[in-house]
Amino acid sequence: MNWKKITLFKYQQIETINADKKFDELEKVLFSACVAFGLTEQEMDAKGLKQVAKMIKRIKRLFTTSPAVLIPKRIGRYWVLYDVSRFTFGQYVELAFFLQQPTKNMHYILASCSRRLLRKYATTGHPARADRFLGCRMEQAVGAVKVIKERFEAFNGEYKSLFGLSDDVHSQQAKVDRFNQRYGWTYSASAIADYERIPLEAVYALSVRQAFNDLMFIKARGEYEIRERNRLMKEFKMQNHGG
């Protein structure tokens, strides 16, 4: 038993088992062995104590080793896309959502960051692509997602001022409001659609750089308008007070 034989699907199951606090250490090893060897609990019980003990030993040995970190150009029939700066806005939003739980969503992340040879990325077929990635080697998936996450964070670093709500424009309550947490990207897409004068669905086809540059301008304009409004109100109050 080695990591080369562990598929992404099995890896996700094993990670879920080991993160579950209701299982003790022995149960985690036993359930992980069932997953790794493709056995049900009943089939494991039928193996007998000697064989089960051997399986447990092999699983424990597996857990003491680190899997290889591969950075594949291609996984199966799909080419992996690592350059987040060349994604569409819709592709970026998909990725941002799935990266909230990277291990659980690893197959969806890969589906959002891959394409067939000589074809552009397309949202169409995303679930089917994700299902295909469940069967790939976990070493490939983990390595690819690690790099994608690093590139995603590096890209966001270029737009630090874009993330988060401004103190000048929004209240503290707005920053933790469920609307912003749940619909933040939809709100941003609507703002871009108004600015670009295009349908909402067309926004998601824009390059992520164009969309982010639009959002940078929209945010700066909003902050400017708030400052100007506050300045005029201050002047108005001073004039009235002086009168």
Residues 118-176: tens digit of each pLDDT? 888 988 999 999 999 999 999 999 999 999 999 999 999 999 988 865 555 555 565 56
Q: Helix, strand, coil % (nearest 5) of the chain?
A: 65, 5, 30
Q: Output the pLDDT for position 91.
A: 96
| Structure tokens belonging to residue 88 | 């569409």
The answer for 71, left when phi > 0, alpha when psi is -120 to 50, beta otherwise, is beta
Determine the pLDDT at residue 48: 87
User: How would you classify residue 122: left for phi > 0, otherwise alpha for psi between -120 and 50, otherwise beta?
Assistant: beta
Indicate the pTM of the whole model: 0.86
The rounded percent of the chain whose pLDDT value lies above 90 is 72
The answer to whether the beta carbons of residues 117 and 150 sit under 8 Å apart is: no
Beta bridge partners of 179: none
Strand partners, 116: 78
Residue 109 has pLDDT above 60, yes or no: yes
Distance (Å, rounded) from C-alpha 225 to C-alpha 243?
27
Beta carbons within 10 angstroms of residue 101's beta carbon? 11
pLDDT at 69: 86
Domain boundaries, the chain: 3-63, 74-158, 162-242
Q: Is the dihedral of CA 103, 14, 67, 132 positive or negative?
A: negative
Q: What is the mean pLDDT of residues 41-60?
A: 92
- Give the pLDDT of residue 166: 58
pLDDT at 12: 97
Q: Are 141 and 105 in contact (CB under 8 A)?
A: no
User: What's the pLDDT tens digit per position in 53-103?
Assistant: 999 999 999 989 999 889 999 999 999 999 999 999 999 999 999 999 999
User: Which neighbouring-strand residues pair with 62?
Assistant: none
Q: Tell me the pLDDT band of 215, cut-offs 50, 70 and 90.
A: very high
3-state DSSP call for residue 24?
coil
In the block, tokens 């594949």 appear at 72
